Amino acid sequence: MYTRKLSSVSWENKNIGSKAANLGELTRTGVPVPPGFVITSDGFDKFLKVNKLDGKIRDILTKMKENEQDVYNYAVRIENMITEAPIPDFLQSEIKEQYEELSLGQNAKEIGRIALDIIKAGREHEPVAVRPSPLVNDLSASSYAGQLSYSLNVAGLERVCRAIKKTWASLFSPRVMFYRKARNIEGILLMGVIVQKMVNPEKSGVMFTADPVTNDSNKIIIDSSWGLPDSVIYGYVSPDNYVIDKSSESVLSKTIGNKSVMRVRDPVSGGTKSERVLSDKMNIEVLETHEIAKLVELAKKIERNYNGQPQNIEWCSERGRFFIVESKPVKSTDVTFQESNTTLPSVLQGTPVSHGLVEGKVRIVLNTPEINKVVQGDLIVTKTITPDMMPIMDKVSGIITDEDSYTGYTSVISREFGIPCVIKTENATAVLKDEQEIVLDAFKGYIYSNKEEVTDSEEFTEETELQ
């Protein structure tokens, strides 16, 4: 078999990827996880072999040169090979059976054939989420955060199969190939693919069971917004932020964000879309007191399942019921430093999410094409970091953003690459100018105008791994 129900898998299954294994473990311990199934890495491997793609892909990977244009062209070629190849009948048959059972429920096989056909006629287009679950040898070094393709609100077998191939192909997308270069990952990697019932949440977010910046294990960090979790993860909004004392479960601090947009399911075309938040909901708290308490309860339970290892948890709430859609380790950040001494004038202040002190020239990046302006050592100033900016991560010496969240993609990727980063400046893209020389203090969250030389008395060591 090349497919397995999420409820039947665990960490012992080595061919499904860590994300699927984690969801299986959580399901088995009673954590509310949307039902689903996973296509194993053996299924992906069989797909490649039946279509005679494995050898062709290896040849292309061997030919890849170091310059970015060749990487891009070769990557697109591999992507097209995978998306255009058919899924073998035996594998598609398994996917069809699992998808139908997911749509109809676990008792579908006990229903008479005629009755079952009638039910299928009305429920064959169950919307699902299709997510990657890569197999990696060292999750502490790289787990493709935000790089691999996923599809939400996918309905119908044909679209589900296309989404699965799109996810497979994303292992070789241009941004993933640049990521692999930066992380020194070689060869053909395999992955499982998760297909889960799509939750239609009114509210969602991310929580960490330890502070990912200070590594304080007695704090729980919760970010929340309206709609799907993407609103928080990819910086569409400045979410509400709560810092919770893990021992007493009391709220130590809270910041209510400006949540002007939300990501929601698109019932017409499928997929998702951005939608304006009603004016009376933009600046009010998403979570009620009892909901914060429930999330804290889930966070502590999940962390216990991992023997106390801090977790990065993606959650959502539909009709008052919470679901966990991902949990992965928060890797330790060990930082020792002293205050820096400077008399430079401060021009901006934000929230530091990846520590460091660096000076250099500003490069304003307002959209993906503008990444071509970035040169080695630039301090990039942008609204938010997106996965398509991966090609420049090995060039930049610092990151400053207008928005973002403590738990979002910008924060995660800056910590992984050890890039000093300050978020939530509100207007850095308007205040700072291209080529302006500045100092970024990502310990205290200040940006200084570099009118004179900065005195750096920092003595620190930092071991940064992927959050």
Query: Is 338 within a domain?
Result: no
The CATH number given to whatever domain includes residue 46 is 3.30.1490.20
User: What pLDDT digit, counting tens, does each position of 354-372 carry?
Assistant: 999 999 999 999 999 999 9
Mean pLDDT of the 54-58 span: 93
pLDDT tens sequence across 30-45: 999 999 999 999 999 9
CB 165 within 8 A of CB 85: yes
Residue 15 and residue 163 in one domain: yes
Q: Which of 197, 229, 246 is the last residue of a domain?
A: 197
397: CATH: 3.50.30.10
What is the residue-averaged pLDDT of the chain? Answer: 88
One domain, residues 146 and 280: no
Residue 382 lies in a domain: yes
Claim to verify: residue 448 and residue 352 sit in the same structural domain? yes
Domain count, the chain: 3
In tens, the pLDDT along 256-306 reads: 999 999 999 998 878 899 999 999 999 999 999 999 999 999 999 999 999
Say yes or no: 207 and 178 in one domain: no
In CATH, what number is assigned to the domain containing residue 277?
Answer: 3.30.470.20
pLDDT value for 335: 54
Select from 301, 329, 357 the last residue of a domain.
329
Let me know whether 365 and 444 are in one domain: yes
The verdict on 306 and 426 lying in the same domain is: no
SS (H, E, C) the chain: CCEEEHHHCCCCCCCCCHHHHHHHHHHHCCCCCCCEEEECHHHHHHHHHHCCCHHHHHHHHHHCCCCHHHHHHHHHHHHHHHHHCCCCHHHHHHHHHHHHHHHHCCCHHHCCHHHHHHHHHHHCCCCEEEEEEECCCCCCCCCCCCCCCCEEEECCHHHHHHHHHHHHHHHHCHHHHHHHHHHCCCCCCCEEEEEEECCCCCEEEEEECCCCCCCCCCEEEEEEEEECCHHHHCCCCCCEEEEEECCCCCEEEEECCCCCEEEEECCCCCCEEEEECCHHHCCCCCCCHHHHHHHHHHHHHHHHHCCCCCEEEEEEEECCEEEEEEEEECCCCEEECCCCECCCCEEEECEEEECCEEEEEEEECCCHHHHHHCCCCCEEEECCCCHHHHHHCCCCCEEEECCCCCCCHHHHHHHHHCCCEEECCCCHHHHCCCCCEEEEECCCCEEEECCCCCECCCCCEEECCCC
In a domain, residue 335? The reply is no
Amino acid 123: pLDDT: 58
Q: Is the domain of 304 the same as that of 158?
A: no
* 300 located within any domain: yes
Shared-domain flag, residues 22 and 134: yes
Range of the domain at 458: 344-463
- Joined tokens for residue 252: 């130590």
Residues 281 and 238 in one domain: yes
Among residues 297, 329, 361, which one ends one of the domains? 329
Which of 229-233, 332-336, 428-432, 460-464 is the least confident region? Answer: 460-464
For residue 429, tell me if it sits in a domain: yes
Q: 384 with 273, same domain? A: no
- Which tokens in the block code for residue 105? 């429920």
182 shares its domain with 36:
yes
> Would 234 be classed as within a structural domain?
yes
- Asked, for residue 337, whether it belongs to a domain, the answer is no
Average pLDDT over residues 115-122: 56
Q: Are residues 166 and 47 in the same domain?
A: yes
